[in-house]
Structure 1
Amino acid sequence: MSTPNRVYIARLAGVAVFDPNGDQVGRVRDAVARLRQTQRPPEVVGLVAEMPMRRRIFLSINRITSIEADAVVLGSGTLNLRRFEKRPNELLVLQELLDRRVQLEGGQAGTVVDVAMECARGGEWSLTRVAVREQTGRLTRRGHLHQVEWDRVRGLSDIAANRGTANLLAVLEDMRPADLANALQDLPDARRNEVAAALDDVRLADVLSELPEHDQVEILAALDRERAADVLEEMDPDDAADLLNELPPPEQDVLLDLMEPDEANPVRQLLRYASGTAGSVMTSEPVILPPDATVAEALARIREEQLSPAVAAQVFVTRAPMTTPTGRYLGMVHFQRLLREPPADLLGGVVVNDIDPLRPTTPLPEITRRMATYDLVAMPVVDRNNRLVGAVTVDDVLDHSLPPDWRDRDAVPAPGATETTDAAGG
């Protein structure tokens, strides 16, 4: 394999990183450049790679033996697993330069859409060229794309420069919500809030659910209240309730009043339950069907794309009404049982009710023991009248059993991390 002399860094985002044995280490998330005291372009000192458990590490440019369109390969040696931390004289290329508003030599305004690094004969990599799209002032027309030398662009060193979000979002768009949440934690607060606000409501709702609570609150507070209410409507009711629980009661009431009643009512119900109980961690929207529904109908429901794997793993069977709180709870059917039964059979004939459901007041340790005992991924929650009010899923239990800061990137240790001192930067 060979390394091209010029590499555009935005195209590297998400590319897999492999060690000399061919094992994947992580994925490229950014490049680190060191600012110089002279007018020379910044020196590229390495890449930032994201490993499992959302940990970002520094890869020295001297350790990289090959850069291809679909792979970055490292040479032999011990990998430094210390969490990456940017030094004062360093620049994160994608995070800090994409969408920056700059001026070309002729005075034409433009926006940075990519930055290239090049390798000199001595093996030193530098930021040498910038892809800049002209600003036309017309919504229906895209400006010309210029590829110019670094020193022919003004505004690259202005840290306080105004920036948009379109190009950074394009780099981040294919990430899973959990990975995007991790990427947002690496951004300065103001930049993080700009990028979050530029996401559509559904995407932002998914990402908020993966962020630490303090970041959720800060991002929500940066939105206008109407937009914040729209995002809360797109969240699962239990996630929305968890987030609202972090806000003062008056702010909770304002946002709930701005939400559509059908979306707000389940959240209001969840907010009434004491913390650490089944009522506080359950979802109020499990898959619910009547006993005269067919196996085929049940299979069609659990195929719905928006359902999480834990919620789609079983169907709860109740008397009408079919929304929580339902009519009398009859039992549940796991999807494996559904796959074994004739499609025309009725759920009332295959329902299982040999495990006592939870009560809203059941404490979390008891829920954990019972789910582990019976190898369940979800358990029903019923009120005193045996009406289904929700279901606790295994992801709910894990989320609330881990330390409160488990989503915070700074609090996540790298399993089996081996720290070394031979890496530069980071």
Structure 2
Amino acid sequence: MVAGAPRVFISHLSGVAVFDPNGDQVGRVRDVVVMLRVGGRPPRVLGLVVEVVSRHRIFLPMTRVTSLESGQVITTGVVNMRRFEQRAAETLVLGELLDRRVRLVENDEEVTVLDVAMSQLTARRDWEIDKVFVRRGKGGALRRRGEARTVEWSAVTGFSVEEHDQGAANLLATFEQLRPADLANVLHHLSAKRRSEVAAALDDDRLADVLEELPDDDQVEILGKLAEERAADVLEAMDPDDAADLLSELPEDDQERLLKLMQPQDAADMRRLMSYEERTAGGLMTTEPIVLRPDASVADALARVRNKDLTPALAAQVYVCRPPDETPTGKYLGVVHFQRLLREPPFTLVGSIVDTDLQPLPPDTPLPGVTSYLATYNMVAAPVVDESGSLLGAVTVDDVLDHLLPDDWREVSVVEMPQELTPASEDGGGRA
């Protein structure tokens, strides 16, 4: 999906076919899921409700949509087939917004919503509802030309979440611009009741990012209050190493139930990570580094590094391996650093510029050995390779720091939080 994509009216998506990258039909769009926001701000589009061949409905996040044009939707090919269940903070556009009576801000005139349109934000993958197509007066067909028009979302009132409501709406509006680490800090200082309410209203990806920044006891508490299927979804959205650490904190019965609800590949990664001692290279590593075959070009490598969802540490280098490309890979050949990629012509094959001087880490390397390796060679990530020569994953400096800092390091804020983000009362009754 590219920046500057054309505006899409939601009613035109109803019944549109959804295809995977191979051209096989996944299902058809039945609705669009949005999150309303206070203060007249345009709603954020979370994803599509898709009816699959088996007739049940699933949720397709907008981050999994690669193209939305020419009367069809193309996905990344990774689709969670669990049945869609609407959450408290979510609104269905076709089911709940169309035919609704709202008022124009300019003159307080009552109008009927005929359609709404969404547009992609510049240089981002996020979508927002930005236009509303309304009809003046009551009744069915238009009586004369000019009674219907398209206005900005901010030009109408009547959609907004109740601002005096004590649910999570005001909290979410306040927290929306915070980085995950800062939001985690705020949540940690909320009462258990309010922490649970906010966690329930966050979407899976946002909650996953926040959980990764919370202390272990807060993670376990929040995960334990989620429905099991949603808990499995959130674990899948987390970085594999963080998700494995969280699972390890749960009783074995709970671990097994959640693993069975996860996608098989994700569950396999979790089981593999949990088989290593926590304070070893295998226990610290992520199973999702950038892996390329030797015949990939520098241009291919830079395209992978450019992915904004990667942490700086993971984007600092690519790992060259024989197929298969997923960990555990085929034979590990070496690493190519980001700076080297920038110095080479785009058509250069990564197999010809591999750095083979640095030996990889065995998975049983203890934490002090991992720390010494990164410090000695000025690295921000290190490959982890098993006895057969397969790449298992990569240990990044941020994961190492998590285990070197004191247990209560998250209690100390990096910067002082704004006063309005500090809980007003212990029982959650005040503004937070």
Give the TM interval when normalised to the shorter protein. Answer: 0.5 to 0.7
Match of 1:142 in 2: 158
Q: In structure 1, how many angstroms separate the alpha carbons of the residues matched to 2:262 and 2:409?
A: 29
The correspondence for 2:373, drawn from 370, 379, 399, is 370
AA paired with 1:232?
Answer: L
Q: What is the CA-CA distance between 1:262 and the residue it aligns to?
A: 1.8
* Residues 292 and 318, structure 2, Cα contact 8 Å, conserved in 1: yes
1:331 aligns with 2:334: yes
Q: What is the CA-CA distance between 1:363 and the residue it aligns to?
A: 0.3
1:292 aligns with 2:308: no
Q: What is the CA-CA distance between 1:310 and the residue it aligns to?
A: 0.4
Q: In structure 2, how many angstroms separate the alpha carbons of the residues matched to 1:240 and 1:145?
A: 33
* Residues 216 and 246, structure 2, Cα contact 8 Å, conserved in 1: yes
1:400 aligns with 2:416: no
Q: In structure 1, how many angstroms separate the alpha carbons of the residues matched to 2:403 and 2:221?
A: 21
AA paired with 1:208?
Answer: L
1:1-400 equivalence runs, <5 A: 142=158, 163-400=166-403
1:221-273 per-position Cα deviation (integer Å, ceiling 9, x unaligned): 01010110010010010010011111111111110101111221111110000
Q: In structure 1, how many angstroms separate the alpha carbons of the residues matched to 2:286 and 2:271?
A: 13
Q: In structure 2, how many angstroms separate the alpha carbons of the residues matched to 1:414 and 1:173?
A: 19
Q: What is the CA-CA distance between 1:404 and the residue it aligns to?
A: 2.5
Match of 1:89 in 2: none
Q: In structure 1, how many angstroms separate the alpha carbons of the residues matched to 2:313 and 2:368?
A: 19
Q: In structure 2, how many angstroms separate the alpha carbons of the residues matched to 1:305 and 1:144?
A: 31
State, as a whole percentage, how many aligned pairs show the same letter.
60
CA RMSD between the two structures: 2.6
Q: In structure 2, how many angstroms separate the alpha carbons of the residues matched to 1:342 and 1:275?
A: 41
Q: What is the CA-CA distance between 1:413 and the residue it aligns to?
A: 7.8
1:132-156 per-position Cα deviation (integer Å, ceiling 9, x unaligned): xxxxxxxx98279999xxxxxxxx9
Q: Look up the SS of the partner of 1:317 in the other structure.
A: strand
1:339-392 per-position Cα deviation (integer Å, ceiling 9, x unaligned): 000100000110001011100000000110111000001110000001100111
Q: In structure 2, how many angstroms separate the alpha carbons of the residues matched to 1:223 and 1:230?
A: 10
Q: Look up the SS of the partner of 1:371 in the other structure.
A: helix
AA paired with 2:213?
Answer: E
Q: In structure 2, how many angstroms separate the alpha carbons of the residues matched to 1:223 and 1:301?
A: 34
Q: Look up the SS of the partner of 2:335 in the other structure.
A: strand
Q: In structure 1, how many angstroms separate the alpha carbons of the residues matched to 2:316 and 2:363?
A: 21
Match of 1:128 in 2: none
AA paired with 1:197?
Answer: A
Q: Look up the SS of the partner of 2:249 in the other structure.
A: coil
Aligned length: 265
Q: In structure 2, how many angstroms separate the alpha carbons of the residues matched to 1:343 and 1:187?
A: 50
Q: Look up the SS of the partner of 1:380 in the other structure.
A: strand
Q: In structure 1, how many angstroms separate the alpha carbons of the residues matched to 2:320 and 2:267?
A: 24
Q: Look up the SS of the partner of 2:270 in the other structure.
A: helix
AA paired with 1:268?
Answer: R
1:282-340 per-position Cα deviation (integer Å, ceiling 9, x unaligned): 00110000000000000000101111110010000000000111000000000000000
* Residues 185 and 413, structure 2, Cα contact 8 Å, conserved in 1: no
Q: In structure 2, how many angstroms separate the alpha carbons of the residues matched to 1:353 and 1:373?
A: 16
* Residues 161 and 169, structure 2, Cα contact 8 Å, conserved in 1: no
Q: In structure 1, how many angstroms separate the alpha carbons of the residues matched to 2:414 and 2:319?
A: 39
Q: What is the CA-CA distance between 1:406 and the residue it aligns to?
A: 2.0
Distance 1:321 1:230, change over 3 A: same
TM-score by length of 1: 0.59
Q: Look up the SS of the partner of 1:309 in the other structure.
A: coil
Q: In structure 2, how many angstroms separate the alpha carbons of the residues matched to 1:370 and 1:146?
A: 54
AA paired with 1:142?
Answer: G
Q: In structure 2, how many angstroms separate the alpha carbons of the residues matched to 1:253 and 1:316?
A: 32
Q: In structure 2, how many angstroms separate the alpha carbons of the residues matched to 1:257 and 1:144?
A: 39
AA paired with 1:306?
Answer: D
Distance 1:171 1:344, change over 3 A: same
Q: What is the CA-CA distance between 1:414 and the residue it aligns to?
A: 7.9
Q: In structure 1, how many angstroms separate the alpha carbons of the residues matched to 2:276 and 2:162?
A: 58
Q: In structure 2, how many angstroms separate the alpha carbons of the residues matched to 1:283 and 1:356?
A: 18
TM-score by length of 2: 0.58
Q: Look up the SS of the partner of 2:260 in the other structure.
A: helix
Match of 1:96 in 2: none
Q: What is the CA-CA distance between 1:186 and the residue it aligns to?
A: 2.0
Q: What is the CA-CA distance between 1:405 and the residue it aligns to?
A: 2.8
Match of 1:91 in 2: none
1:96-123 per-position Cα deviation (integer Å, ceiling 9, x unaligned): xxxxxxxxxxxxxxxxxxxxxxxxxxxx
Distance 1:414 1:202, change over 3 A: closer
